[in-house]
Amino acid sequence: MVFALSGVAQIDYSLAARTMAFDITSLKWSSEMLEHAGIDEKLLSRPVPSGTAAGTILREVAEQTGWSGKTLIVSVSHDQVAAAVGSGVFSGDAAVDGAGTVECITPVYDELPDLDVMYQGNYAVVPYVFPGKYVCYAFSYTGGALIQWCVDTLAKKEKELAEEQGISVNEFLESLFEDVHGNQGKDFTEPTGMLVLPHFAGAATPYMDTGSKGVIVGLTAGTKVSEIYRACMEGVVYEMLLNMEHLQDSGIRFHELHATGGGARSQVWMQMKADMLGMPITALKTVDAGTVGSAMLTGIAAGCFRDLTDAAGYMVEKTVTYVPRQDMHEKYRAVYQRYRRLYEAVRPLIQDNES
């Protein structure tokens, strides 16, 4: 895209890393990898830091689009890196919780993490926008997608009732659950006790197992749709807790999360995440932090901001911080001890259609 608009063949470090032919320590194309693949390095774009200007738009493109000939074209980054920038996460003290279709936690490393540990958990290590810093992606293919599956497949009647009341089906299902299980308000709602393995599109980190399937354990004849909905929310977060355990030895040190994506609007889900993970999580005003991060990087290149700290002061706005509740944390941890064994228990029983 940058080449098509500017005529300059360049690619930022984080996108270059996605090719698996980029050396993340030297920040250069890996001659060894290219030699093994039989690829001439001259065919590849020049790797540059995220936020590097390629120059102004080509004259013919400006004429075709009607854009100003002074339009500046800037190489930004892979979406999760852009989301980290747009969430104001600049150091290892915090991480991003991307609560979108895919659930992704993106921690920042202030130095190169232990690559052997990262390899064991199938975690990509990606250069960040600050020299010497890196990020990784701990993710589940089905985050919000699992919640949407539950709504579209199981909650059709509830969706109609929610529309009649003028509220979202998510709010309706959450209120149904609270009506049955709430005690003294929302502060003492018990975990469902059900286990949902959120591998409805295969397993991402730490397994990277495309043959794994989704599983719901603990159903009875009395189980309500609202309980399955809630258990799906829990399953996504249990999977993230599992990832955090796998990353403990890699050098992560974050003690708070900045949440973005559509899921950050759910007070119930945000409080659940804080309780389960045992750390505060702050929802951001902007749902699409990746777009914000791209605008911040572009704004610096265009001279609108001095640096990322200056840009964040204008563009990163926090809303609500959800604080973990120790009693709920302990209850979720008890259920999580069973969840940790779920994948290994059911995987041998699942037919892998791709094998």
Greater confidence, 194 or 183? 194
Greater confidence, 117 or 180? 117
To the nearest 10 degrees (0 to 180), the angle between helices 267-277 and 326-339 is 80
Q: For 299-309, write each residue's pLDDT tens digit.
A: 999 999 999 99
Give residue 207's pLDDT band: very low, low, confident or very high (50, 70, 90).
very high
Mean pLDDT confidence for 222-243: 96
Q: For 126-167, write each residue's pLDDT tens digit.
A: 999 999 999 999 999 999 999 999 999 999 999 999 999 999
Give residue 287's pLDDT band: very low, low, confident or very high (50, 70, 90).
confident
Q: CA-to-CA distance for 325 and 327, rounded, in angstroms?
A: 6
188 pLDDT more than 80 = no
Sort strands 125-127 and 138-140 into parallel, antiparallel or unpaired: unpaired
Question: pTM of this prediction?
Answer: 0.92
Sort strands 28-29 and 94-99 into parallel, antiparallel or unpaired: unpaired
Beta carbons of 275 and 310 less than 8 angstroms apart = no
325 pLDDT more than 90 = yes
Percent over 70 (pLDDT), the chain: 97
Mean pLDDT of the chain: 94
180 pLDDT more than 90 = no
What per-residue confidence (pLDDT) applies to 182? 66
What per-residue confidence (pLDDT) applies to 178? 84
Structure tokens at 83: 């989301």
What per-residue confidence (pLDDT) applies to 184? 46
Q: CA-to-CA distance for 299 and 110, rounded, in angstroms?
A: 24
Sign, CA dihedral 53-54-59-62, equals negative
Q: CA-to-CA distance for 237 and 272, rounded, in angstroms?
A: 8
Q: For 89-103, write each residue's pLDDT tens digit.
A: 999 999 999 998 999
DSSP state of 44: S
